[in-house]
Structure 1
Amino acid sequence: MDAFNNLLLTLDSFLGSSAWFPFVLLGVGLFFTIYLGFPQIRYFRRAWQVLGQGREKQDQKGDTSHFEALSTALSGTVGTGNIGGVGLAIFLGGPAALFWMWMTAFFGMATKMVEVTLSHQYRETAEDGTIAGGPMYVMEKRLNMRWLAVLFAIATVLSSFGTGNLPQVNNIAISVESSFGIEPMITGAVLAVLLGLVIVGGIKRIAKVTSTLVPSMAVLYLIGAFAVIIPNYANIIPSFVAVFSDAFTGSAAVGGFLGATFAYAFNRGVNRGLFSNEAGQGSAPIAHASARGHEPVSEGLVSLLEPFIDTIIICTLTGLVILSSNVWTEKHQTSFQAADLALIEGRYDDSLEADRQALFGWLNIGNQTEVSSFSGDLTVVDGRVLDTQDVTIIHARSVAEDVLFEQNGTPYNGTVTVADGQLTDSSIQLSGQSLIHSAALTTVAFGYGLLGGAGQVIVSFSLVLFAFSTAIAWSYYGDRAITFLLGAKWVMPYRMVYCGAFFLASFTDTTIVWNFAAVTIVLMTLPNLFATFLLRKEVKSLVANYNKTPGESDKTS
């Protein structure tokens, strides 16, 4: 698993974590924002009007209503990105990361409008009678680029696991175990069965379930979030100040958090913003292509609401919960994960400024520091490393404290071999005090409010609903990609594999899951952004024609 994780990290360093990718993603959104005259502002009110116009004509082409299509797409985006993703972004980049998540959402509203409009324009009827659409159909039918369409469809299948499946159930299992003590394997087994019962019914059953789940889970989450924000109201303004003041400078060290450079906060914020709202990834157009109606731009307008709801509203609430409670700077008792663990030579104390600076450079800049990985043997007595050993244990980008070595559930005694900062014996488990991230961070933060422990129950239940609905939506994206690649007969085998992976991921290393997600997201996004940019003139023409008779277009869409 370590070798696989290292491969994912290498791929990610050239893709999502590269210096150029955030500029490409934001650049396309910025281009369409200017090219179409700030559609996220000009059409914001009309988008709500189209959504609220009532039932579409049943004889129009499509499988779902505007609202059902929006709910399905939202269920695909409102998931662990809003709970675990925000927690991971702030953990990595500090408050500044939230600012760049906002920017990704704002410009992403224009990108999403464009990609959905095109996919609705070039959708078709599959051999089983259902509507099939998405960027792969645009690439093949309009651009005559079958090779690009196949590449995107394969990436969509991979991303259905990397985005919609593995991280969703993984975060559910962690949160449920933290709140209720239920073993991850049990959680995974139960939810895998439920998932299978839903997705076997196809898009119509999926749309019915998600259109019920999305509003309910949003209300529940709002209640839990405000229960934390209200008693910590004195920290709200300082939190916003930190978000904006750190946006172009990076986040300073606070508590156990060792700081982040501007480049790191920018990259992580944009990357997590993409994972949260998926604007530019090409996933939501697959859901919106199923909507009844003949006017592609109307469906595009409905879709621009997604990044607003998903990131600017829900992710902001999550961010305020984490920042106002200050939980992100505190160390908590946790089990250490191998992918987050490193042993370094020498003794470092994060209360000392010189040590903080050295560790900051090692974490954020790389080799431009005197910090080096530890290699050698450690003597452990009753689960504790002897004080005479000159080593510091780093977990979750923080100096770990009160570390306990265990084997088979009991304190370890003997010699532990370390090679290049990693334990060579995977049977030895470590636990102690360190920073936490992802869903675990958000779950703990929800306990710092009026509801106390009940707040953690709310976020755990919300996470189950958010993540489960995301897995449902992404199963549809994957089966449309399979339909495009291999035909409708391969959809059922895909669904079976999808449910099996959902179970297995419930007890897999969290960091590996997130790294796989980071790679698969970009493999979808790059070909989709390329195709949408090539068709910029066509989109502008569609929008111009729509503007000539917007009232009539809306009524019949």
Structure 2
Amino acid sequence: MEPINDFFSLLSSFLWGWPMIILLLGTHVFLTFRLRIPQRKLITGIRLSIKKDAKADGDVSQFGALATALAATIGTGNIVGVATAVALGGPGAVLWCWLTGLFGMSTKYAEGLLAVKYRVKSDDGKWYGGPMYALERGLNMRWLGILFAVFTALASFGIGCTVQANSIALLAKETFGIPTWIIGVMICVLTALVILGGVKAIAKVCTVLVPFMAALYVVGCVVILCFNSSYVWPAIELIADSAFNPSAAGGGFVGATVMMAARYGIARGLFSNESGMGSAPIVAAAAQTRNPVRQALVSSTGTFWDTVIICALTGLVLVSSILAYPDITYADGAALTKVAFSKIPYVGAPLLTFGILTFAFSTIIGWSYYGESAVNYLEGRRANRFYRIMYIVLLFFGSIINLDIIWNIADCMNALMAIPNLIALLLLSGVAARETKKYLWSNRLDDDMERNGKEWKAL
């Protein structure tokens, strides 16, 4: 297996290299100005996300769709991933990560808009959408939609399933001494109880789990910042200065460069919030919304919460801890995170453990819907039950085996998902701009979507 692992490791490094980073970030910036900076309507998006629109068509509430997307997005990358970016790129990586999230809101907005614009209704009354439908119905490129669906299904078994189960099992074994096979069985049972109920059950669990786990983690970060209060402003100054002048960080970061800070910060931001990857719009298409722009605004808040808030807080906690405790070893991202949280007496380490466990489990249930929707696009509803069973079985195997090769394959599938999605976003940016002008900039957010054959075609 070693040659295969080396191949996918090399391919992953290539796919997530500068070309992909430039393509993703360039799309973020392009859509920001093409759509006339929809980030300005952040407050409106937050308001809509908690407002019920029950009379509108859809399977789940707008908040349910947002919570499910956040469940799949908020993960260990928000904790350990940011620490790794700081360890490799220096404190300046935090600013680049934050900027990526700020511009990425426009891409997540466009993804949500196109998902609702081109969604379809099945004969049993359920709604489906996402990049595959936008490619097929908006651009007449079904072949590219099929490729996206294949990459999404494969990615769900990797980054959404086995690697998350493995993270939970190893952490539980290390912390509590529980054998991995027992944890594997528990994960399978809990996941089955949720995903066998379909998107409505998934959304129902996520609407409770996501706000709770995110709020608890944010409170933990705020407590650490209170302990480090005298170092918070110096940490902000250090982050800003070292983003463009890494030598300002001093110490072990002297070897860092602007390119390293930008690369690791941008890459972590892109990977964390998944803007441009095409996963989140799959569940956005199931939202109860009267027009595409309403859900687009709600979807854009996902990137705000994930990267602009949670990743930024994590970065500030880590950098302020480095300043407050010079003895911290920051060469290892995971070790840096553990040391920072251990500064909270008694509850710091358990809080970090709980955060990682819940973040990983939420990713499992969120990605199960993405993969199922992709399989549904490829083979129809008859394949849904088979997919769910396979997903649950692989959760167990992911808990008990070494997953180095799976990580590399999953990284490759995530990058390959992004390519057809970005094609759809760029080629349909005119459609997104027209819809935005029609509903958002003309103050018609409360108008219903026009029901014509193209937009309401049934499966």
Fold match (TM-score > 0.5): yes
C-alpha contact 1:114 1:532 (8 A) present in aligned 2? yes
Using the alignment, how far apart are the partners of 2:401 and 2:85 within structure 1? 21
In structure 2, C-alpha distance between the alignment counterparts of 1:111 and 1:20, rounded to whole Å? 18
The reply on whether 1:47 has 2:45 as its aligned counterpart is yes
1:226 is displaced (CA, Å) by 2.0
Q: How does 1:69-468 map to 2 (within 5 A)?
A: 69-250=65-246, 259-326=255-322, 435-438=331-334, 441-449=336-344, 452-468=345-361
Q: 1:282 to 1:83 in 2, by over 3 A?
A: same
Which residue number in structure 1 is paired with residue 37 of structure 2? 38
Aligned length: 449
For 1:275, the aligned partner's letter is: F
Residues 296-305 or 18-27, more deviating? 18-27
| Equivalent AA in structure 1 for residue 447 of structure 2 | S
- C-alpha contact (below 8 Å) 1:256/1:330 kept by paired residues: no
DSSP-derived class of the 1:550 partner? coil
Larger radius of gyration: 1
Q: Secondary structure of the residue that 1:260 maps to in structure 2?
A: coil
- Structure 1 residues 13 and 466, CA gap change in structure 2 (3 angstroms): closer
**Counterpart residue identity of residue 52, structure 2:** G
Check conservation: 1:94, 1:251, Cα contact below 8 A.
Answer: no
d(CA) in 2 for partners of 1:531, 1:125: 21
Deviation per CA, 1:215-245: give whole Å up to 9, x if none.
1112211222222221112222232222222
CA distance in 1, matches of 2:46, 2:307: 17
Gaps of 5+ in 2: 451-459
Shift in Å at residue 257 of structure 1?
Answer: 6.2
Instruction: Return the offset for 1:124.
Output: 0.8
* 1:533 partnered with 2:426: yes
Verify the 8 A CA contact 2:246 2:254 in the aligned structure 1.
Answer: no
More helix by percentage: 2
Equivalent in the alignment of 2:454: none
Q: Does the residue aligned with 1:243 lie in a helix, a strand or coil?
A: helix
2:379 paired with 1:486: yes
CA distance in 2, matches of 1:259, 1:509: 33
In structure 2, the partner of 1:28 is 27
CA distance in 1, matches of 2:319, 2:80: 14
| Per-residue Cα deviation, 1:243-279 (whole angstroms, up to 9, x for no partner) | 2222134467866667433323322222221221111
Normalised TM-score (structure 2): 0.90
Q: CA deviation at 1:197?
A: 1.6
Greater displacement, 145-154 / 229-238: 229-238
Show the 5 A alignment for 1:6-25.
Answer: 6-16=6-16, 18-25=17-24
**Matches of 2:13 and 2:282, distance apart in 1:** 28
Shift of residue 201 of structure 1?
Answer: 0.8
- 8 Å contact kept, 1:298–1:554: no
Distance 1:516 1:460 in 2: 26
Distance 1:317 1:226 in 2: 8
- Alpha-carbon RMSD across the aligned residues, in angstroms, is 2.6
Change (3 A) 1:485 1:515: same
* Shift of residue 38, structure 1, vs aligned partner: 1.1
Of 119-128 and 525-534, deviating more is: 119-128
TM-fit CA distance, 1:555: 12
The CA distance in 2 between the partners of 1:498 and 1:114, in whole Å, is: 30
- Name the structure, 1 or 2, with higher relative contact order (CA <8 Å, separation 6+): 2
Structure 1: which 5+ residue stretches go unaligned? Answer: 333-433
Q: In structure 2, give the amino acid aligned to 1:494.
A: Y
Q: CA contact under 8 A between 2:291 and 2:449: conserved in structure 1?
A: no
The alpha-carbon deviation at position 552 of structure 1 amounts to 2.8
The residue that corresponds to 1:337 in the other structure is: none
Shift in CA distance, 7/206, structure 1 to aligned 2, threshold 3 Å: same
What is aligned with 2:390? 497
Distance 1:103 1:220 in 2: 24
More strand by share: 1
- Paired letter, 1:246: S
Whether the aligned pair in 1 keeps the contact of 2:238 and 2:249 (CA below 8 Å) is: no
The separation in 2 between residues aligned to 1:97 and 1:182, in whole angstroms, is 36
Aligned to 2:457: none
Asked if structure 1 preserves the Cα contact closer than 8 Å seen for 2:93 and 2:261, the reply is yes
Which deviates more from structure 2 when the two are superposed, residues 148-157 or residues 120-129?
A: 120-129
| Secondary structure in 2 matching 1:37 | coil
CA positional deviation for 1:504: 2.7
**Structure 1 CA distance for aligned equivalents of residues 376 and 366 of structure 2:** 16
* 8 Å contact from structure 1 (residues 64, 207) kept in 2: yes
Contact kept? 2:91, 2:249, Cα under 8 Å: no
Q: What letter corresponds to residue 157 of structure 2 in structure 1?
A: F
Mapped contact 2:118–2:129 kept (Cα < 8 A) = yes
3-state SS of paired residue (1:20): helix
The superposition leaves residues 455-493 of structure 1 with CA deviations (integer Å, 9 ceiling, x where unpaired) of: 110111122212111110100000000000111111222
Paired amino acid for 1:538 = V
